Amino acid sequence: MAEIRETVGDGKVLCALSGGVDSSVSAALTQRAIGANLTCIFVDHGLLRKGEVNQVMDVYGRKFNLDIRHVDASERFLSKLAGETDPEKKRKIVGAEFIAVFEEEAEKLKSEKGEFDFLLQGTIYPDIIESGTEGGASVKAHHNVGGLPEHMKLELLEPVRLLYKDQVREVGEALGLPSEIVWRQPFPGPGLCVRCLGEVDRAKLDILREADAVVREEIDAYNEAVFVETGVRNSEKSVWQYFAFLPGLLSTGVRDGARTFEQTIGVRAITSTNAMTADWARLPLEILEAISDRITGEVEGVSRVFYDITPKPPGTIEWE
């Protein structure tokens, strides 16, 4: 915190908060160091999970007293995505729109807050290594490194850049961030866009959000039981990432004696340590049964559920 204070001085800091562990810990740390000179923008692209907007606003706005501005840009993102089926183009649309919304909001904030000097980012050590150092081989271009356009002329502030993920979590716990944030599973920046295969629309997203909430509830409870048993979060027995996806397949079903032709939901639950390789989670059958019964019983428009039993490689974690 002393280092942040020294670097920033009386300067003003802007942050794009996603609710992920790294950006959350960076924001909480910076807020403790410089208080009201930190402003966070939370861009809601309409591709978030059920309850996520309220959770982020509740934790940061109310509990942490952060100056966080929620921007509901879902209409904008969804109309830009309309008709697009190519996975890479969908990702690019979300990325470009995100930057456009962020820049516009930053511009609006200037009249209230004055010029911003720094951009706060939750870059962690593996992001820097994976993006390659000067003269070294670049493994992959990470979305956290060098994400915003140069012309914004903001200096980067990256308070957790020398930490590994588990160290970032330790800092988060020390700062009193709730465990659902500190132990949050990875969630892609483009959100449900990559889990709603083919064309994305509101109706499909609503189904996916409800089904995903069931998967998360059931596996959160399973992980909690593993934690109680082992005393370790993210142990080898825990499920590392878990979600529903919508492959866009309609299939025949029977409901109340009548034939239906409705959406199919896929469930992906994997064990991993770093997402480079992964295995499908050997979940107890009762958990899979509960997930299937609940999704077909509670989510309107779904009559079939399947479980993906493909390791990575050859299958990636996400489907798109």
The residue ranges that bind ligand XMP (CB under 6 A) are 91, 143, 186, 188-190, 194, 241, 275, 312, 316-318
CB of 144 to ligand XMP, least distance (A): 8
Q: Strand, helix or coil at 312?
A: strand
Structure tokens at 204: 């499909």
Closer CB to ligand XMP, 193 or 299, in the complex: 193
Closer CB to ligand XMP, 33 or 196, in the complex: 196
CB of 187 to ligand XMP, least distance (A): 7
CB of 90 to ligand XMP, least distance (A): 10
Cα-based distances in Å from 275 to 45, 79, 186, 217, 319: 24, 31, 9, 22, 14
Quick one: which of 279, 278, 272, 289 has its CA closest to 222? Answer: 289
Closer CB to ligand XMP, 64 or 240, in the complex: 240
Closer CB to ligand XMP, 189 or 301, in the complex: 189
Closer CB to ligand XMP, 159 or 190, in the complex: 190
Closer CB to ligand XMP, 32 or 312, in the complex: 312
How far is it, in rounded angstroms, from Cα 15 to Cα 17? 6
CB of 82 to ligand XMP, least distance (A): 20
Q: SS in 3 state form for 271-293?
A: ECCCCCCEEECCCCHHHHHHHHH
Closer CB to ligand XMP, 212 or 262, in the complex: 212
Antiparallel, parallel or unpaired: β 13-16 and 38-44: parallel
Burial class (CB in 10 A: 0-12, 13-18, 19+), 100: middle
Distance from chain centroid for Cα 221:
20
Give 291's contacts (C-beta < 8 A, 6+ positions apart): 214, 215, 218, 267, 305
CB of 32 to ligand XMP, least distance (A): 26
CB of 22 to ligand XMP, least distance (A): 11
CB of 193 to ligand XMP, least distance (A): 9
